[in-house]
C-alpha cells in the first residue's frame, strides 16, 4: 500500500491534518510545539483508493527541544519510505528559514511533493500563499486542516501522484500485541529491538513516547501488529495535558489489543502502578505476558528468578497464571521468547473446547468434589459448556446457582487451567439456573 508522509516545521498543523485525513483523532494535537515525536501511521481512502498516511514530528534545528535530533531523524526516515510528501507550511507566518531548509531536503530527495499551505481560513489569505512559490515546489494547495476546507482538493492531488498500482488492500485480521507499562521501563527499546530498526524514539527520559505507535511485524513466520504505548504513571503524577492524552491513548490501545506485554523494571520491582495496569488488562479480558526488563543490572543467585516469580504471583493473585520472562532488551536477551510467548497466549485466548470434551472432563471432577452445601441445600451441576464469546467464558448449569461461592468458582477455574493451557488469559466462570 502506498504511503503519504506529512512533514514540515513544528506547529504548522501536521497532526491536525493527519486526523482530518484519516477521519479519527489518532494523533495528539496541542498548541505546544513538538507534541508529535514518533512517526504515526493511519489509513484513509478517497474515491475508492486506499493509502496510508504518516504523521511526523516538526523538523527543526537549534531549538530547545532535547528530542530535536531524534525527531529530525524520524522525519528523514518518513521521507525515505513515503511515495508522496505533503510539505505543510503556515500562511500566517510566511516563508521561514526552516521552510527553506525543508524544501531543500525535499528537492534533493526527488520524491513527489505537494506544497500544502495550511490555516487559510478565508479568501483574503489565499493571496498570501503566493509567497510560497519561492520554495520552488510548484503551486501551493490552500487548506484549513481545522475546518477541513480544501482537503478534498488536496486528496485529489494526492491521488494524481500515487503510483498507478496502488490498490486498496484489506487490513489483515492479525493479532494485536501491545507493549504497556510505567514510563521508562524499556517499551520503545523492546519494540525497536524486535523490529530491527529505530522505529520509535528512545531516550532515558520518562514520557518520551506520547502516541500509541502501530507497526506490522512479519518475520520468522510470525505476522502481527506490534503497538508501542506511552508510559502510564499514577493519576497524581500526570501533570500536563499532553501526558493525560498519552495515557488515554495507551488505555485505548489496551482495549483494542489481543495480548498485552506488561513490562517491569527489574531495578524498581513491582510497584502499585504495575498492579493497576495489570488490573486494567484483566478487566478488559486481554491476554497478558509479564516481561521483567533490565535483568542484566540485578545481582542474582541460583534462586533469584524463582523468588521473583513467587513474589509476582502473590501480588497478582487471584489471576496469577501469567507467563513471566526475564529479559535485557539492551543485551537482546530472550526478546524472541517474548514474542513467541505472546503469540501462544493469543492462541490460548482463541481456544474453543468442544462441549462433549469439556463435560467428559469436568463433570466427573465436579461429582467427586461438589460445591459445599449451603443452608442444608445440595448444589448439583449437571451440564457445562464454553460460551461462543471472543474470550474464554464458561457456564455451568446448576439447580441452585445463587449458592455457589467464590472459592468454588476459583476451584473450577484452576481445574480448567490444569487441563487446558490458558496461561496468561483471563477466564470468566458463570453459574446459571438449570
User: Peptide bond preceding 115: is omega within 30 degrees of 0, i.e. cis?
Assistant: no
Convert the pLDDT of each residue in 215-232 to its tens digit.
778 877 888 888 888 766
Distance between CA atoms of residues 145 and 12, nearest Å: 10
Convert the pLDDT of each residue in 243-267 to its tens digit.
445 566 677 788 888 999 999 999 8
Separation in Å, CA 226 to CA 176, 260, 321: 6, 10, 23
Cell numbers standing for residue 142:
490552500
Convert the pLDDT of each residue in 62-108 to its tens digit.
655 555 676 777 778 778 878 899 999 988 888 888 889 889 988 88
CB 281 within 8 A of CB 424: no
What pLDDT, on the 0 to 100 scale, is given for residue 416? 95
Q: In this model, does residue 426 exceed pLDDT 90? A: yes
Q: In this model, does residue 166 exceed pLDDT 70? A: no
Helix H or strand E segment including 329 = none
SS3 357: helix
Half-sphere exposure of 300 (CA within 13 A, CB side): 15
Distance between CA atoms of residues 49 and 117, nearest Å: 24
In this structure, what DSSP letter does residue 341 have? H
> Whose CA is closest to 262, among 186, 198, 194?
186
SS3 160: helix
Give Cα 120 distance to the centre of its chain: 34
Tell me what the pLDDT averaged over the chain comes to.
Answer: 82
What pLDDT, on the 0 to 100 scale, is given for residue 62? 60
Distance between CA atoms of residues 169 and 417, nearest Å: 39
Most confident of 174-178, 297-301, 341-345: 341-345
In this structure, what DSSP letter does residue 109 have? H
CB 231 within 8 A of CB 187: yes
Average pLDDT over residues 185-212: 61
3-state helix, strand, coil in the chain (%, to 5): 35, 20, 40
Average pLDDT over residues 125-144: 87
Question: Could you identify the residue written with the cell 513467587?
Answer: 310
Amino acid at each position: 500500500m502506498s504511503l503519504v508522509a506529512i512533514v514540515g516545521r513544528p506547529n504548522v498543523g501536521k497532526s491536525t491534518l493527519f486526523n482530518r485525513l484519516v477521519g479519527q483523532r489518532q494523533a495528539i494535537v496541542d498548541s505546544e510545539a513538538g507534541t508529535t515525536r514518533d512517526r504515526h501511521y493511519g489509513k484513509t481512502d478517497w474515491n475508492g483508493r486506499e493509502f496510508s498516511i504518516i504523521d511526523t514530528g516538526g523538523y527543526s534545528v537549534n531549538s530547545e527541544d532535547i528530542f530535536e535530533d531524534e525527531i529530525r531523524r524520524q522525519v528523514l526516515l518518513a521521507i525515505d519510505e513515503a511515495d508522496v510528501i505533503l510539505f505543510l507550511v503556515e500562511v500566517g507566518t510566511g516563508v521561514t528559514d526552516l521552510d527553506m531548509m525543508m524544501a531543500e531536503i525535499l528537492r534533493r530527495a526527488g520524491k513527489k511533493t505537494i506544497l500544502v499551505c495550511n490555516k487559510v481560513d478565508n479568501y483574503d489569505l489565499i493571496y498570501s500563499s503566493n509567497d510560497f512559490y519561492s520554495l520552488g515546489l510548484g503551486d501551493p494547495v490552500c487548506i484549513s486542516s481545522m475546518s477541513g476546507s480544501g482537503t478534498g482538493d488536496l486528496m485529489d492531488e494526492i491521488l494524481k501522484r500515487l503510483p498507478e498500482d496502488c490498490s486498496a488492500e484489506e487490513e489483515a485480521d492479525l493479532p494485536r500485541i501491545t507493549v504497556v507499562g510505567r514510563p521508562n521501563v524499556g517499551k520503545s527499546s523492546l519494540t525497536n529491538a524486535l523490529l530491527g530498526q529505530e522505529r520509535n524514539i528512545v531516550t532515558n527520559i520518562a514520557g518520551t513516547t506520547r502516541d500509541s505507535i502501530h507497526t506490522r511485524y512479519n518475520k520468522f513466520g510470525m505476522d502481527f501488529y506490534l503497538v508501542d504505548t506511552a508510559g502510564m504513571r499514577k493519576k497524581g503524577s500526570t501533570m500536563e495535558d499532553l501526558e493525560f492524552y498519552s495515557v488515554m491513548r495507551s488505555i485505548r490501545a489496551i482495549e483494542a489489543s489481543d495480548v498485552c506485554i506488561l513490562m517491569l523494571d527489574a531495578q524498581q520491582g513491582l510497584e502499585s502502578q504495575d498492579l493497576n495496569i495489570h488490573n486494567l488488562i484483566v478487566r478488559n479480558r486481554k491476554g497478558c505476558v509479564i516481561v521483567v526488563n533490565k535483568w542484566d543490572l540485578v545481582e542474582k543467585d541460583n534462586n533469584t528468578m524463582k523468588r521473583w516469580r513467587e513474589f509476582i504471583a502473590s501480588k497478582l493473585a487471584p489471576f496469577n497464571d501469567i507467563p513471566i520472562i526475564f529479559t535485557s532488551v539492551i543485551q537482546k536477551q530472550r526478546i524472541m521468547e517474548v514474542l513467541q510467548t505472546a503469540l501462544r497466549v493469543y492462541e490460548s485466548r482463541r481456544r474453543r473446547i468442544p462441549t462433549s470434551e469439556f463435560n467428559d472432563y469436568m463433570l466427573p471432577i465436579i461429582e467427586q468434589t461438589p460445591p459445599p452445601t449451603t443452608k442444608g441445600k445440595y448444589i448439583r451441576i449437571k451440564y457445562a459448556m464454553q460460551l461462543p464469546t471472543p474470550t474464554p467464558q464458561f457456564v455451568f448449569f446448576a439447580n441452585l446457582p445463587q449458592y455457589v461461592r467464590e472459592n468454588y468458582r476459583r476451584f473450577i477455574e484452576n481445574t480448567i487451567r490444569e487441563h487446558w493451557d490458558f496461561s496468561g488469559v483471563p477466564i470468566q466462570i458463570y453459574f446459571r439456573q438449570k
